[in-house]
Homo-oligomer: A and B are copies of this chain.
Amino acid sequence: MSKLIVQKYGGSSVANVKKINQVAERIVSYARKKNEIVVVVSAMGDTTNELISLAKEINPQPSEREMDMLISTGEQISSSLLAMALHKKNYDAISFTGSQVGIITDVYHTKARILNIETKRIKDELQKAKIVIIAGFQGLSTHQEITTLGRGGSDLSAVALACALGADVCEICTDVEGVYTADPRIVKEAKKISYITFDEMLELASRGAQVMHKRAVEVAKKFNIPLHVRSSFSKKEGTIIMKKTSYIEEPIVRGIAFTEDEAKITVCNLPDKPGVAALIFNELAQNRINVDMIVQNVSHRKITDISFTVPKTNLLKTIKVSKRIAERIGAEEVLIDEDVTKVSIVGVGMKSYHGVAASCFSVLAENKINIEMISTSEISISCILRKKDGKKALKALHKEFELDKIKSRS
């Protein structure tokens, strides 16, 4: 039976003419089966970064509105080229910008949120049996301006389109074969995960797994759109991200994320009284700094320390803001530690199993790895470690939870 399929191809999948032709061939293999196909593409390879560099060379603090005018061209280029590649294979295709197709967003340039998608133009073209190609990562604001959606924007475009069109499938086609139990570049025994829940994927994504961005998974979860993360250049089944997996023998831990992109900040010797933590984190939030883990020490004589982690990209701003607050609240000093790593184990099974945390900490202890911060959620445990211990910890945990023994679909 014919289906409505939304497919997203990332930048590395359309990085050059050869790859664009391969992607076109892949799309054709679906079109031959009389499916209706909507394709979302990212900009070719490094185009976006090159445009950003060019902008910063001209103006180190470019206007966000003009930035969107500039970088939205990247996806327009790849979309039109993909349409031409499909024409060459005698398939009818038509490319659109986000503005043309009515992907309506709010007015926050470079990080806009999708408000609505007008599907008429897409449906009209599908009706004419055309393959519809849409520039990802971009939209049109309610002020009639070109906007971009920020990191993971093309994934988000695909998910939102799948939702608006009521697609049967939303495929995220990328340069890896799916979601793995750990980064296969570090843990060579890492296995591809066949099925994973939205919540687990969200945890993995926010803990450092780069295969999919959190925002797209959030939207997919909200509207219950199953996602299929798979390779752009192989027919192998990838990872299906869905509401609930129904495998009988689900492993307790589903995956382990790993990141070196965060830094640890400690505000030392601050008065332990109500409102102090609120003051710090409100101020950080107002400065749009995303705080991840937070740990407050046990208080001694009404004096305590607060440690938290932030993305290294926000580090300079965080230091500035933290020092200002520290002075205001009479804290002694602000310590910055960039030499840390974060390892997180994730799995919905965890909450109903005792001893996962204990196993985790034991394994690290056996390997003489010191844990500096711990944070737990319903479905994850994250530990901040010395950077030098990160990869050793990742491998040890992967083995402990027997992730090397799970079976992937072909």
- Measuring CB to CB, which residues of chain A are less than 8 angstroms from any residue of chain B? 17, 20-21, 51, 54-55, 57-59, 62-63, 65-67, 69-70, 72-73, 76-77, 79-81, 83-85, 87-88, 94-95, 97, 99-100, 144, 146
Contact of A20 among B51, B58, B77, B80 (CB under 8 A): B58
- From DSSP, what is the main secondary structure of chain A's interface residues? helix
Query: How many subunits of this chain does the assembly comprise?
Result: 2
Q: Which residues of B contact A81 (CB under 8 A)?
A: 54-55, 58, 70
The 4 A-B pairs with the shortest beta carbon distances in the complex, nearest first, are A69-B80, A73-B73, A59-B84, A70-B80
The docked-state distance in angstroms from the alpha carbon of A67 to that of B72 is 17
Q: Is the CB of B84 within 8 A of A79?
A: no
Q: How far is the CB of A126 from chain B (nearest CB, A)?
A: 17
Q: Is the CB of A84 within 8 A of B63?
A: yes
The docked-state distance in angstroms from the alpha carbon of A193 to that of B55 is 38
Q: Which residues of B contact A69 (CB under 8 A)?
A: 76, 79-80, 83, 95, 97
Closest B residue by C-beta to A55: B84
Contact of A76 among B62, B73, B100 (CB under 8 A): B73
A63-B83, A69-B76 known; 10 other A-B pairs, CB under 8 Å? A20-B58, A21-B58, A51-B77, A58-B81, A63-B84, A63-B87, A69-B97, A70-B80, A72-B76, A100-B146
Contact of A62 among B21, B57, B79, B84 (CB under 8 A): B84
The docked-state distance in angstroms from the alpha carbon of A54 to that of B20 is 11
Q: A54-B17, A95-B66, A144-B100 are in contact. Are A85 and B59 (CB under 8 A)?
A: yes
Q: Is the CB of B70 within 8 A of A77?
A: yes
Q: Which residues of B contact A99 (CB under 8 A)?
A: 99
Q: How far is the CB of A326 from chain B (nearest CB, A)?
A: 34
